[in-house]
Amino acid sequence: MSVELQKRPESKAETEEQLTDGFHLLIDALKLNGLNTIYGVPGIPITDFGRLAQASGMRVLSFRHEQHAGNAAAIAGYLTKKPGLCLTVSAPGFLNGLTALANATTNCFPMILLSGSSEREIVDLQQGDYEEMDQLAIAKPLCKAAFRVLHAEDIGIAVARAIRAAVSGRPGGVYLDLPAKLFGQVMNATAGAESLVKVIDPAPEQLPSQASVKRALDVIKSAKKPLIILGKGAAYAQADDVVKSFVEKSGIPFLPMSMAKGLLPDMHPQNAGAARSLVLKESDVVIMVGARLNWLLSHGKGKSWGEPGSKKFVQIDIEPREMDSNVEIAAPLVGDIGSCLSELLAGMGDQFPAAPDGWKSAITTKRDANTAKMNQRLGSDTTPMDFHTALGALREIMQQRPDAMLVNEGANTLDFARSIINMSKPRKRLDVGTWGIMGIGMGAAVAAAVETGHPVLAVEGDSAFGFSGMEVETICRYNLPVCIVVFNNNGIYRGTDENENGDGDVAPTVFVKNSRYDKMMEAFGGVGVYATNRDELTQAVNEAMDSGKPTLINAVIDENAGTESGRIGNLNPQSVVKK
């Protein structure tokens, strides 16, 4: 699109010059690179940008708060391997989006935060512009790369740099600062079109060196009790067939991190998830595939990892600096998952270590015992429901609907659902990720529905849901097939805490008792259900998943059922001083 020049009537040729402007150049640059969906909140100075983007055929989804738009963009990036786009206004909108940008970077999800900003001259002299803030400086330490564009003719290059920075190497968040004046800048349309860049091969294959492959093969061949740990980097890589071949050809037991669940089906005979403590402790060679040895794996050391020095690590990661971050890595393999695993497969031939039958059978025995114990509890049908009753119902539903997307956050609601609900396909489980952040729920649910077209089941603690709850209006507005189940136990972890000072306030972890979250959905035309038992819950979820109607089910959970901090109570300091 272009606009006519209005002044400078020197010659006819000049008055007919076709012009374009910053708005259109940005839209064209994004579309040229296959980025066709924007998640954001409109306002000065990007209102017209959103409008024009929509008019140009892009999908522009407006949220009620930027953090959720940003979380949606991050999840879109995770699911598609293309940077998700989040669009915000200056200062406060930008800051609201920044949490999501930082969270995306922490999780290695590619996204671009596009923020309008105020005038450089005024901001830099701190003269008090409308929504004044030095956004670029603030964004820089919280993302992978941050750029500002001052001239319309640089938009093409800036978008190209942002895309490359987001998806190449270890993916992450990128900030693009767009001062208000940029949008209105005009330039010759032909020159504008020529200034755009279609990024060729934005995330090139990264092959590991031959020496590193040989070293890894030697370590793997020496293993007596090998273990594979699959992380969300492996899910992100979309190298599903190679991952499957490597696991199955090797026969090595695997442990999926939470968002890697389903990369191979949880019901796979080699899944050691239900014997997690045993395999972490007793394995001698651990092959990390797109997973970090961070707090989620006790930093690769300590009691849960058995005797010090009892293990060798092989680590596959695209980020060289990840190696030795917590413990010594005997065989670092730096490259993309697909390339590294293909090299290992080729180098192994048929010489995978015949993991002793004793190792495999010890795992199977432990796993079967734990699974049997769990299955017994999952059949329970208590009223009010406890976590096992409610999740037993949801587990059956997800088993019957392998294509459905699952979103999950909370404390007990997260920890129980993670171990109870089996996933059978890759990249179906979206959760609180590396930070254990609350508030990803509705953003993730919107992106999951928009990017995949499949129905979404969002399993939410009542506290967790509250962080993004207003986005139920967004879900209704776009009529998305999202079924939210709020596990309502009257508060954070449980609803039974007492205030000891007697001032009439409730304890800090307790909410209004017996709230009706279902009414929130009804307020916007969606379906609200109040479910007090397993049958009601099962029926309501199935109906929602069949109809695709936005639905919120308030599942009444026994307020005594949870434990403080779910399964990470060990990280929660508690006073031993009695006053």
For the chain, the straight-line distance linking the first and the last C-alpha, in angstroms and rounded, comes to 71
State yes or no: residue 522 binds ligand ADP (CB under 6 A). no
- β-pairing verdict for 405-409 and 456-461: parallel
Contacts 24+ apart (CB under 8 A), 382-386: 382/558, 383/532, 383/533, 384/532, 384/556, 384/557, 384/558, 385/532, 385/533, 385/534, 385/537, 385/555, 385/556, 385/557, 385/558, 386/557, 386/558, 386/561
- Tell me the C-alpha distance between 554 and 517, whole Å: 6
Q: Residue 505: phi, psi to the nearest 5?
A: -70, 155
Residues near ligand ADP (CB under 6 A), total:
24
Give the residue with the Cβ less far from ligand ADP, 434 or 488: 434
Q: Is 431 in the site for ligand ADP (CB under 6 A)?
A: no
Q: Measured from the CB of residue 353, what is the shortest distance to ligand ADP in angstroms?
A: 23
Q: Exactly one of 36, 56, 188, 294 binds ligand ADP (CB under 6 A); which one?
A: 294
CA distance 497 to 507: 6
236 forms part of the interface with ligand ADP (CB under 6 A): yes
Distant-in-sequence, close-in-space partners of 244: CB < 8 Å, separation ≥ 6: 264
Window contacting ligand ADP (CB under 6 A); options: 13-21, 254-262, 493-501, 535-543: 254-262
Residue 75 as a binder of ligand TZD (CB under 6 A): the answer is no
CA distances from 284 to 226, 243, 536 (A): 6, 21, 47
Instruction: Note whether 493 binds ligand TZD by CB under 6 A.
Output: yes
Q: Which does 296 bind (CB under 5 to 8 A by kind): ligand ADP, ligand TZD, Mg ion, none?
A: ligand ADP
Strands 226-230, 285-289: pairing kind: parallel
Phi, psi of 388 (to 5 degrees): -70, -40
Residue 489 lies near Mg ion (rule: CB under 5 A): yes
236 interface partner picked from ligand ADP, Mg ion, ligand TZD, none, CB below 5 to 8 A per type: ligand ADP
CB-based burial of residue 430 (10 Å sphere; 0-12 exposed, 13-18 middle, 19+ buried)? buried
- Site pattern 416..445 for ligand TZD (x: CB under 6 A): --------------------xxxx------
487 contacts ligand TZD (rule: CB under 6 A): yes
Considering only 131, 240, 462, 558, the residue that binds Mg ion (CB under 5 A) is 462
260 binds ligand ADP (CB under 6 A): yes
Asked whether position 271 contacts Mg ion by CB under 5 A, the answer is: no
**Which of residues 46, 152, 411, 520 is near ligand TZD by CB under 6 A?**
411
Interface with ligand ADP in residues 307-346 (CB under 6 A)? 317-319, 322, 336-337
DSSP label at residue 320: G
Do residues 232 and 294 lie in contact, with contact meaning Cβ atoms separated by under 8 Å? no
Asked if 463 touches ligand TZD (CB under 6 A), the answer is: yes
Strand partners, 287: 228, 314
- How far is CA 474 from each of CA 48, 471, 481, 549, rounded to the nearest angstrom? 20, 5, 12, 13
Q: How many residues bind ligand TZD (CB under 6 A)?
A: 18
Where on the chain is the footprint of ligand ADP (CB under 6 A)?
107-108, 170-171, 231-233, 236-237, 257, 259-260, 290-292, 294, 296, 317-319, 322, 336-337, 434
Where on the chain is the footprint of ligand TZD (CB under 6 A)?
410-413, 436-439, 461-464, 487, 489, 492-493, 562, 566
